[in-house]
Amino acid sequence: MTISHEQAEWFRSTFDQLTDNMEKAVLGKRHVVRLALTCLLSEGHVLIEDFPGTGKTMLARALANTVQGSHARIQFTPDLLPSDVTGVTVYDQHKGTFEFHPGPIFHTIVLADEINRASPKTQSALLEVMEEGRVTVDGVAHPVGKPFLVIATQNPIEQAGTYRLPEAQLDRFLMKTSVGYPDRQATVELLNNAAVRDRAGLVTPVITAATIAQMSGLADQVYVDPAVIGYVAELAEESRRQPHVKLGLSPRGCLALVRVAKTWACADGRDHVVPDDIKDLAEPVLSHRLLLDAEAQFSGVDVQTVISRLLDSVAPPTDRVGA
Amino acid sequence: MKRAAHASATGTRTRVRSHALLPDRHSWIDIGFTLALAGIALSAFGTSFTGSTYLVVGLLGALIAVVVTHLTRAAGWPIISAVVICVVVFFVLGGPLCLRSLGDTSVLPGASTLARVADQAVFGWKDLLTTLPPIDGDGPLLVLPWLAGLLAGLVGMGLAHLPVRRPWLAAVLPVLGMTAVLSGAIVLGVRHPQSLLLQGSVFAALALAWLAIRAHRASAAVHGGTTSYVRGAGAVVMLALAAGVAFPASALVGNDDDERAVARNWVEPPFDIGRYPSPLAGFRTYVDLKGTTNSTNVYDKTLLDVEGVDTGTRIRFATMDRYDGMVWGASDNALPGPADDSFQRVSSTIDNPVEGDEVDVTVTLGEGWKGVWLPTVGALQSMAFETGDPRAKAEVFRYNLATSTAVVPSGMAPGDRYSFTAVQPDDALTAETVGSAETTALPPGASFIQGPTEKWTEQAGTDPMDRVLAAAEHLRSQGKYSDGIGRTERIYVAGHSVWRLSDEFVNAPQIVGNDEQYAATMALIANDIGVPARVVLGAVVPEGGRVTGKDVSAWVELRAADGSWRTLPTESFMSMTPPADQVPETNTPMSGTVIPPPNPIPPPSDAGEQSDADLKERKATRKKSDEQEDGLIPGLPAWIGVVLTYVGGPLLLVALLLGAVVGLKAWRRHRRRSADSPSARFVGAWRELVDHARDLGQVVPLGPTVTRREQSLGIVSGQAGPLARRADSFVFGPHVPEKAAATSYWELVDAERRAMSGEVGRWQRLRAAISLRSLGVRPRRTSAAPDGAPREAAADTGRTRGLKSRLRTLADWRSRRAPD
């Protein structure tokens, strides 16, 4: 069963509304906004890495505000403990029992600000909830509900006082993207409205959590031709053969790429994925999943270069399978 | 292979295995059959060339073409690249291989060599057809088998690997192509085939065997490689039957050489013997001037020194077989029906099937000889010029098998020496000789001869030959001999026009003339009686072999019933008795009558021996008509013909090449439009749009990693984006597209192509139509480079990266979207 044209068109229309809504806060970054929304509708989590002051938190807050639901912000610091995120079990003297007090992770959208400033121990506290949508405390599992989205921001690892996220943690994020500096026009507009201190406050909820869940369901029904699937598989295989790549694309990464491509295609009003979707999303989906070796840095090769070579070395399909 | 299989399973076409340059089993079979059939086809030139060099050169060409075609196919290049490479090879190796006899042996040919190769390729066909075979096997005409070999190899292998959807067509096409090559070679050959067995049965057997193998191959592809022994046995039986039938059939059909259709039958030699003056008209340069002097007279001068023949042998200067009312002259095609009766180029050896004694003769031209006619004896078998730029003379040398007359249009000069082998047939006229029964039409204006003929032969019965001899006897007995020298004989003027032969000869009170008038009249009489006759100017070789002007005479040849020509000697119809002095030295004019003064012996004309006033007038008339008719196109001036020949030919070649480009594109479009699967038709339609944009000069990103959407950004067209999106939606959509949808999509693409063409000028449209850009090599899909070096396929990498940024900065992709 695949999505119909009408459903795809509705999806596109709604997606555009969400984008327009978020653009009230995030000026001139429509592509990044679309990527973040795609991540939300794909039931994934997004990692935004950029230099301070580029609007990472603004993007995360705008995304949280656009969805009618609860959201929380966790400012990650070196002394943040895992229980500060997940919650703790406290002994109730009146009842004589231990009761679980949910942490800030139990919200629809969680903004994990500067996640790489926390210690690895605290970062790892997010592993279970990001992958399985539940928190286990004292042997008791506590579901966080749906939809659930973690929007994490981080400073580049070269910045002082940061801890590199472990590979397992990175793999939990569906996408990693950066906001980047605004262009001149956006900057001028931003300065003209400098009186507005909280631009994220301009973003009002325009979609319910139920609708988010409905859109996610529709995206899952988008058709992916075997030729396109083969293309993704070939990309994964080729990523492991690329020079300077220590860790290539995992099966989870492949699944993530296909999942995101479905939503991306649906956001374009299509009921099918085309190779262009894969190419468009390759960098945000793969950039945090490829681990380069030590020689890469000395050779001046970064992960973007590797991905570019990867896309240049694997030809996308031009025809359907069996044609 | 594993990777290729994986790609096939997923349909990503991300890997293409590196093509092996060595042929596989099927390719070896195709190569073998192509070379074998090309060899048989080339053998059709066997009767046109001497030796076997033509076959070696032709087979080498076929081999090169086969290898080039295979390698270009293995490299994935289009067939046009093989054609281009073969053209280059043709010119580069054409000089060393084919023009060695002209000294063009350098490996790197110069401009003159290239021009000569091109000239032979374009105009050599006519030279081949108008040259009496066999042609020298090492001459410049070797360019033709060289070209034919390349062509055969290209046709065979090109068609063998032509992607054709219908299996039966794929099996038949190369066989048909090689059959066409054989047919072409036969048409360009001679009426006597080289070998009916070879060109008939063997070719048919090989062709059918190849056909069977290819059909089996196609069938195996369709049926998964299964076949039955019954089918194989049937093929063998069919082969045997075909070969068995082909030989007797080929032996029966066209067994008569006259029925064998060859182009030689219809191509007329580009040579007009009629432009040269009749040597008979200049007979008085050979007569005794009796004391007077004339620088042109050669009575006492040496004309030839002949070695190798007996005294008394008749040596022929020229045979004149057509009378036009003015002169007897040499002509082409005087005999009815197909016959070798034209002046054809011949090589050093001449295929001249005449029975008789063979003689080896050497002739050295003396001081008195000039002109284009070449004295010979009997029927030539070979000719070798020894002095005076022999190669140039051999190039232009022409010979008429029917009249045994040789001519060197560039002229012969005193001191020139040549040798030849000839066969002297029995040409004696005997009492048993029966005249030919062929009816001969009396030449125009020669009806005056009918009365005297009737009168002189009324006692000779009805036998034509008897009547001819009776008329000859009458002339000999009643006529007188005079060269018109001396005051009393000046009235016997030169020439053999109608006026001279009627009023001043046969109808005159006294028949007076010399060899010129007697031979001319005798030939007319014989033709009137019904015995084909012609006039020969020549000499009887005297003791010592030195021929002077006084040895020159004119005689008549009569055609016998067996087709041979018999000599009617001069002395049998010409009197040697001088006229009596009945003609007064000083005429007293009668009252009221003005007798014109006798014609003096005219000075020699620039054109040669022919010198009488009538001939001058005739020449003037002919010169004018020559200017109009010598061209390739009758009715147009000659210069137009020259321009058409040297400009039109190359233009035609260019037009053919451009037409081939247009045809290739049309064929490519047809293939794409009629692809098997509808989705392939969508893909083909999009590629057609991309190719059209490239032909228009637009920079469209190419490469294995470029998608349709990325390409659409490089196409200057309002609908390129929606069309790319539409193609993607059908190709990668959830439903298999219908053919009707593909047809509709093609209509959209065609409309967009027209719109794109409409936005440019006419000249750019024309350039786009003949542009080779879209026929060029497409970048191949390659795998990742293991060392991290830039990839082969990344020629467009920079462009692709640029596109990525454009993709993000250009207007939103969705704004270009059209409803599906």
DSSP letters of B742-796?
Answer: HHHHHHHHHHHHHHHHHTS-HHHHHHHHH--GGGSPPPPP----TT-PPPGGGGG
**Residue A296: closest CA among chain B residues belongs to which residue?**
B788
Q: Is A227 on the interface with B (CB under 8 A)?
A: yes
Distances (CA, A) of B568 to B295, B430, B431, B453, B534: 32, 10, 12, 17, 10
Return the pLDDT at B18.
45
Strands in B469-597 per DSSP E: 480-481, 512-513, 533-540, 546-548, 552-559, 565-568
Chain B residues whose beta carbon lies within 8 Å of the beta carbon of residue A275 = 707, 732
Q: Are A124 and A250 members of one domain? A: no
Mapped onto helix, strand or coil, the DSSP state of residue B371 is strand
**Residue A230: closest CA among chain B residues belongs to which residue?**
B10
Mutation choice for A interface testing from B10, B729, B732 by most A CBs within 10 A: B732
Return the pLDDT at B648.
66
Q: Is B782 on the interface with A (CB under 8 A)?
A: yes
pLDDT > 50? residue B764: yes
Q: Which of B14, B677, B812 sits opposite A231 (nearest CB)?
A: B14
**Residue A317: closest CA among chain B residues belongs to which residue?**
B12
Q: Are A201 and A270 members of one domain? A: no
Q: Is A304 on the interface with B (CB under 8 A)?
A: no
Q: What is the pLDDT of residues B338-354, one digit of tens each?
A: 456 778 878 788 877 78
Q: What is the CATH number of the domain that holds A214?
A: 3.40.50.300
Distance from CA of A215 to the nearest CA of B (A): 19
Q: What is the pLDDT of residues B582-629, one digit of tens each?
A: 544 444 444 444 445 545 444 444 434 444 444 455 445 544 444 444
Give the other-Cβ count within 10 Å of A116's Cβ. Answer: 23
Q: Are A145 and A11 members of one domain? A: yes
Q: Count the domains in chain A.
A: 2
Backbone angles phi, psi at A55, to 5 degrees: 105, 25
pLDDT > 60? residue B259: no
Q: Which of A8-17, B7-16, B190-199, B776-785 has the largest mean confidence?
A: A8-17
Chain A residues whose beta carbon lies within 8 Å of the beta carbon of residue B7 = 230, 234
Q: Are A140 and A181 members of one domain? A: yes
Which percentage of chain B shows pLDDT scores above 90? 10
Confidence band for A198, pLDDT divided at 50, 70 and 90: confident
Peptide bond into B414 cis (omega under 30): no
Q: Are A133 and A31 members of one domain? A: yes
Q: Which of B782, B787, B797 sits opposite A243 (nearest CB)?
A: B787
Average pLDDT, chain A: 87
Distance from CA of B743 to the nearest CA of A (A): 16
Confidence band for B816, pLDDT divided at 50, 70 and 90: very low
pLDDT > 90? residue A266: yes
Q: Are A168 and A311 members of one domain? A: no
Q: Are A252 and A160 members of one domain? A: no
Question: Rounded distance, CA B769 to CA B146, Å?
Answer: 32
Domain that holds residue A303: 222-315
Q: Which of A49-53, A279-283, B560-564, B721-725 has the lowest mean pLDDT?
A: A49-53
Residue B54: both structure tokens together: 């033509």
Interface contacts (A, B; CB < 8 Å): 141
Q: What is the pLDDT of residues B106-163, one digit of tens each?
A: 556 677 778 888 888 887 777 777 777 777 777 778 888 889 899 988 888 888 887 7
Chain A residues whose beta carbon lies within 8 Å of the beta carbon of residue B684 = none
Q: Which of B14, B680, B813 sits opposite A315 (nearest CB)?
A: B14
Q: B313 near B547, Cβ under 8 Å? A: no
In this prediction the ipTM stands at 0.82
686-715 of B, contacting A, C-beta below 8 A: 704-705, 707-710
Return the pLDDT at B371.
83
pLDDT > 70? residue B10: no
Q: Is A196 on the interface with B (CB under 8 A)?
A: no
Q: Which of A221, A241, A274 is the last residue of a domain?
A: A221
Greater pLDDT, A28 or A308: A308
Q: Is residue A321 one of the residues assigned to a domain?
A: no
Distance from CA of B707 to the nearest CA of A (A): 7
Q: Is A158 on the interface with B (CB under 8 A)?
A: no
Distance from CA of B124 to the nearest CA of A (A): 49
22-81 of A, contacting B, C-beta below 8 A: 30-31
Greater pLDDT, B499 or A156: B499
Return the pLDDT at B274.
74
Q: Are A197 and A236 members of one domain? A: no
Return the pLDDT at B745.
93
CB spacing of A315 vs B12 below 8 angstroms:
yes
Return the pLDDT at A34.
92
Q: What is the pLDDT of residues B45-63, one digit of tens each?
A: 887 787 888 888 888 999 9
Return the pLDDT at B582.
52
DSSP letters of B476-488?
Answer: HHH-EE--S-SGG
Q: Are A216 and A240 members of one domain? A: no
Q: What is the pLDDT of residues B164-219, one digit of tens each?
A: 777 777 778 888 888 888 888 777 776 566 566 667 778 888 888 888 888 777 66
Backbone angles phi, psi at B358, to 5 degrees: -90, 135
Q: Which of A221, A247, A280 is the last residue of a domain?
A: A221
Q: What is the pLDDT of residues B221-249, one digit of tens each?
A: 554 444 444 455 555 555 555 555 454 44
Domain positions in chain B are 18-265, 273-586+594-615, 675-816
Q: Which of A204, A221, A238 is the last residue of a domain?
A: A221
Greater pLDDT, B786 or B434: B434
Q: Are A216 and A307 members of one domain? A: no
Greater pLDDT, B701 or B186: B701
Distance from CA of A168 to the nearest CA of B (A): 27
Predicted model pTM: 0.48
Chain A residues whose beta carbon lies within 8 Å of the beta carbon of residue B813 = 268
Question: Rounded distance, CA A29 to CA A15, Å?
Answer: 15
Q: What is the CATH number of the domain that holds A300?
A: 1.10.8.80
Q: Which of A244-248, B97-101, B728-732 has the lowest mean pLDDT?
A: B97-101
Q: Is residue A107 one of the residues assigned to a domain?
A: yes
Average pLDDT, chain B: 76
pLDDT > 60? residue B632: no
pLDDT > 80? residue A81: yes
pLDDT > 70? residue B560: yes
Q: Are A121 and A227 members of one domain? A: no
Q: Are A139 and A241 members of one domain? A: no
Q: Which of A231, A309, A323 sits opposite B12 (nearest CB)?
A: A231
Q: A103 near A83, Cβ under 8 Å? A: yes
